[in-house]
Amino acid sequence: MTMLPNSQEARDVAYQLHPYTNARTHQQNGPLVIERGEGPYVFDAAGKRYFEAMAGLWSVGLGFNEKRLVEAAYRQMQALPFYHVFSAKSHGPSIDLAEKLVALAPVPMSKVFFTNSGSEANDTVLKLIAYRSNALGQPQRKKVISRIRAYHGVTIASASLTGLPNNHRSFDLPLPNILHTGSPHFYKDGQPGESEEAFATRRAEELEALIVREGPDTIAAFFGEPVMGAGGVIVPPATYWDKIQQVLKKYDILLVADEVICGFGRTGKMFGCDTYNIKPDAIVVSKQITSSYFPFSAVLMNDRMFEPIADESNKIGVLGHGYTAGGHPVGAAVALENLKIIEERGLVAHAAETGAHMQARLRELSGHPLVGEVRGVGMIAAIELVLDKQRKTAASTPGGVGGIAARMLQERGVISRNMLDAIAICPPLIVTKGQIDELVGTIAGVLDDMKGEAAKLTPA
């Protein structure tokens, strides 16, 4: 890419360090500068239109120009542009939103604690779990279990929960007391001749063996996404969540559902917990809560979690945790309007119907020689790319095939994301079946046209 002096691209390279980016490659190639949005589309600085097949970062449910959200933010900015919720202070938007979230929750919840991002929310849950264990007189009960390929954030503690190697490498992570059990990815981890149900049983047995080996009285909680997002859109096999929950109940271990990606309609139900009959003690939400028009997140907790925490705060005299912008009145106002629009327009049902169409259309690509698996539920999916369908393997360099596909899709006006060799599809909830058909057509064309480049790669 040729960057003109003092162009946006050149100034970006000169002054900005980007997340999830190779910093040296970025210095050579520069950024794609996005200037405006319209529905499920965004436009770059040259005016080129892109279908945003990732809804930004799994997050823009209502598209990129929903005026009602802008107006909600403006009204709140005029009335009360900021106030905090520290030291028993509050304001109307945070009260209304807390009440709304408790009412929407898939299982009975008691209280809501507001944060600014999914990472902060998961960090908060980890701190509250330790606080609760101390309150219960169980200081040894501090270990938590996550899963390989999980994604729970990038702050020090939440990145430790995350089960992706590149989120740990050179960061000296994970922290102690964070354990990882097997991924629920049947396609990659299932044994020859093993059924989905048998695989689910094996994963539950492995979890129980880990708990017993570590000592059940040392395990405080288990974290899980209903559907794994950044780890590859991994859909749990039949009976998986039922069996995992049976193990946790046996050993009185808290269950934390990370609904940051799945929440507010993505799976075709209001929550992923609804889709998979998950009954958590705490739920973490973010992203689609405001359609990412404002940084915002929340932790919902039941009385089993809240009551010991309240007792400990009374004993100490304060709950010594919080964020300046947690429960921000503008973010809360945007979230309330966002949830109102989701309900008014029936977007959860729309995601179920249009998502079923998307899943069916994407599965038409399953016979392609570069496609190993198409997986997904509702309005979230992934296409696993391979060079050898029989061995389920791609190139010797992980992400080599997926990187070609993501680049060619962007050249043709589709912004996606390759998670190594899986191409993620997670469009805004407002998309139409016609727009899905256009997307699938573009993907099909790219799969055909990338055969030549893919053939040059060294197979794994």
pLDDT in tens, 303-356: 999 999 999 999 999 999 999 999 999 999 999 999 999 999 999 999 999 999
Q: Which residue has the tokens 């009960």?
A: 141
Measured in residues, the chain has a length of 460
Among the three residues 284, 310, 344, which one is the final residue of a domain in this structure? 344
Give the predicted TM-score (pTM) of the model: 0.97
Does 5 map to a domain?
no
Average pLDDT over residues 141-146: 98
Tens digit of each residue's pLDDT (9 = 90 or more) over 74-101? 999 999 999 999 999 999 999 999 999 9
Task: Check pLDDT > 90 for residue 1.
Answer: no
Note the pLDDT tens digit of each residue in 239-272. 999 999 999 999 999 999 999 999 999 999 999 9
The mean pLDDT of 360-389, rounded to a whole number, is 98
Does 11 have pLDDT greater than 80? yes
Does 255 fall in a domain? yes
255 and 224 in contact (C-beta within 8 Å)? Answer: yes
Sheet holding 49-52, edge to edge: 34-38, 41-44, 49-52, 414-415
- Name the amino acid, one letter, at 370: L
Residue 4 resides in a domain? no
If asked whether residues 262 and 365 sit together in one domain, one would say: no
pLDDT at 435: 98
Q: Are 109 and 253 within one domain?
A: yes
Q: Give the model confidence (pLDDT) of 178-226 as tens digits.
A: 999 999 999 999 999 999 999 999 999 999 999 999 999 999 999 999 9
410 located within any domain:
yes
Whether residue 326 sits in one domain with residue 273: yes
Based on the fold, state whether residues 83 and 61 are members of the same structural domain: no
Residues 267 and 152 in one domain: yes
On whether residue 14 sits in a domain, the answer given is no
CATH code: domain of residue 412:
3.90.1150.10
Residue 23 in domain:
no
Half-sphere exposure in the Cβ direction for 303 (13 Å, CA): 1
Domains identified in the chain, total number:
2
**Does residue 2 surpass a pLDDT of 90?**
no
φ, ψ for residue 305, nearest 5 deg? -90, -40
pLDDT surpassing 70 at residue 54: yes
Domain match, 350 and 340 both:
no
Place of tokens 């005029």: 78
Query: Hey, what are 96's tokens?
Result: 């209304």
Average confidence (pLDDT) over 47-63:
98
Q: What is the DSSP string of 312-355?
A: HHHHHSS-----TTTT-HHHHHHHHHHHHHHHHTTHHHHHHHHH
Kindly state whether residues 45 and 76 are assigned to the same domain.
no
Pair (211, 246) in one structural domain: yes
In this structure, are 184 and 40 located in the same domain? no
Q: What is the pLDDT of residue 450?
A: 96
Within-domain flag for 221: yes
Mean pLDDT value across residues 378-388: 98
The model's confidence at residue 4, banded by pLDDT at 50, 70 and 90, is confident
Chain mean pLDDT for the chain? 97
Of 58, 51, 98, give the one whose Cα is nearest residue 262. Answer: 58
Domain range for 228? 69-344
Q: Looking at the structure, do residues 380 and 335 belong to the same domain, yes or no?
A: no
For 401-421, the pLDDT digits (tens) are 999 999 999 999 999 999 999
Q: End of a domain among 344, 371, 401?
A: 344
Q: Is 438 contained in some domain? A: yes
Helix%, strand%, coil% for the chain, nearest 5: 45, 15, 40
Of 282, 313, 344, the residue that ends a domain is 344
Q: Do 61 and 111 belong to one domain? A: no
Indicate whether 369 and 432 sit together in one domain. yes
Query: What's 99's domain CATH number?
Result: 3.40.640.10
